[in-house]
Amino acid sequence: MQLKHGIYNIYKPAGPTSHDMVDRVRKLSGIKRVGHAGTLDPFAEGVLIVAVGREYTKQLGKFLKQDKTYRAVIHLGAESDTGDPTGNIIEVQPQLKPALKEVREILKQFKGEIEQIPPAFSAIKIKGRKAYELARKGIRLDLKPRKVRIYTIKILKYRWPYLEIETRVSSGTYIRSLAKDIGQALKTGGYLKKLIRTKIRRFNIEKSLEL
């Protein structure tokens, strides 16, 4: 496969980091100037916009602010210190397993502009250092809530303990935080078990390029 200068809709599988994918594109293209817009965690998969060549990496900023669409599986009845399957998982014994009707009502609370606290294990900078670097050292972080927008959120499947949703969100929204907050609202606990980014602007997963 030969990649030339341009902007590509790359499919990132679960496992490699977003930076790993950039390295692969760099090797395939033979071009050093390669970058991406919108990091996907290693466990996540889906659309990763990658630019090859100086002319195109300069355009990445406009994609960072675009709305994004995700499919997510939330594991209810359990919590994770990282908010995802890579962390320490703690089982929770909820008094009641919520019915589908209750889940639908709870999800309505998250539609529109909401305040969200970013995960401690994230790349947000705190005094020049990434939050996850501090969190891994056991340092307690006081991350401030910030406003994000959930344009749509709908249930694709619900079978306890798994809740699968599809959501379109504004830039800067953490689906890990959304999963945790939904779990808290349901009084069951919850963490993000699986994440697929299906769309950024005109780029969708059906037309993404597998390396």
For the record, the structure tokens of 78 come out as 């359990």
- Give me the helices (H) in 119-163, please: 131-136
How far is Cα 197 from Cα 92, in angstroms, rounded to an integer?
28
How far is Cα 76 from Cα 96, in angstroms, rounded to an integer?
12
* Contact yes or no for 150/173 (Cβ under 8 A): yes
Question: What helix, strand, coil percent values describe the chain, rounded to 5?
Answer: 25, 35, 40
103 burial via Cβ count (<10 Å: 0-12, 13-18, 19+): buried
Tell me whether residue 20 is one of the annotated catalytic residues: no
| Contact partners, residue 188, CB within 8 Å, separation at least 6 | 76, 77, 92, 94, 97, 98, 161
Candidate list 20, 23, 41, 142, residue with the active-site label: 41
Active centre residues (catalytic): 41
